[in-house]
Amino acid sequence: MNDDVDRVWRCRDLALPVGRRTVLMAIINVTPDSCSGDGLAHDVAAAVAAGVRAAADGADVLDIGGESTRPRNQPIPEEEELGRVLPVVRRLAREVALPVSVDTSKPAVARAALAEGAHVINDVSGLARGDELARHVAAAGAGLVLMRFPGYPFNRPRPRRGEEGDLLTEVRRDLAASAERARAAGIPPDCIVLDPGFGFGLLPPDSMLLLRRLGELRDLGYPLAAGLSRKSFTGWPEKLPVTERQWGTAAAHALAIANGADLLRVHDVAAARRVAGFTDLVVRGLDAADA
């Protein structure tokens, strides 16, 4: 994996190295119904404190999300998401020396967040709403994460049918189509990161298959992100509750890096930095001083 150590992910005035070491995107949930139990809705001070703590623990990007995408989620109105997200973006963009990302698929939320100083939009829909969001990102010169989310906006994991074919073929096709839409809207390729969407529309065995074969997506030519932290499949085979998934999460993070992930979305930044630090030494062949 040392063939792309000089690549960068461009996010407005910043260029984040990808490939040299794993980039950590800290999850800051400003929702009341996070499936991981860490929602901080309506508590701006607590969300800002979480961002400050994540920065101190080694995060590279802070990702603020105002709408839950848990299984059986219900979409929220645009105004409600704006009310949750913007006060936190406004403060973190000024108080923390890290790029701020906003996890949204709504063009109006993306536009407002970028106006408040966000560097990245993390669109879990993969531009399923059209290209308006991408045009806002292009105008700002911001970074864009595009995730595969079959069935958006409703996350309903289900068994795959035999006639659906090879999962990785479908994931590759869908991610390539999202990236093409982004580029057609004016976003340069070095601003784009792709996320295969672990757990979205997938039962645990399929997410495990996707993790095992993640490296097959590197031929798309974009950095790969993996959102594995506390996902239900990291508690298998015991079907552990979210509070007991830390070891499965750590193993999934190491496997993702070994199989080609450049960026991890994480809840526990300190633990993820330790896992990524050691895994990068082995997989990327870093000197200890560079980890």
Please list the active-site residues: 231, 265
Contacts 24+ apart (CB under 8 A), 178-181: 178/126, 178/127, 178/146, 178/148, 179/146, 179/220, 179/222, 181/127, 181/131, 181/134
User: What H or E segment, with its residue span, contains residue 101?
Assistant: strand 100-103
Phi first, then psi, for residue 238 (nearest 5°) are: -80, -10
Q: Using CA atoms, how far apart are residues 100 and 104, in angstroms rounded to an integer?
A: 13
The helix/strand/coil state of 163 is helix
Q: Using CA atoms, how far apart are residues 277 and 22, in angstroms rounded to an integer?
A: 8
User: What separation in angstroms does the CA of 273 have from each of 26, 213, 287?
Assistant: 11, 23, 16
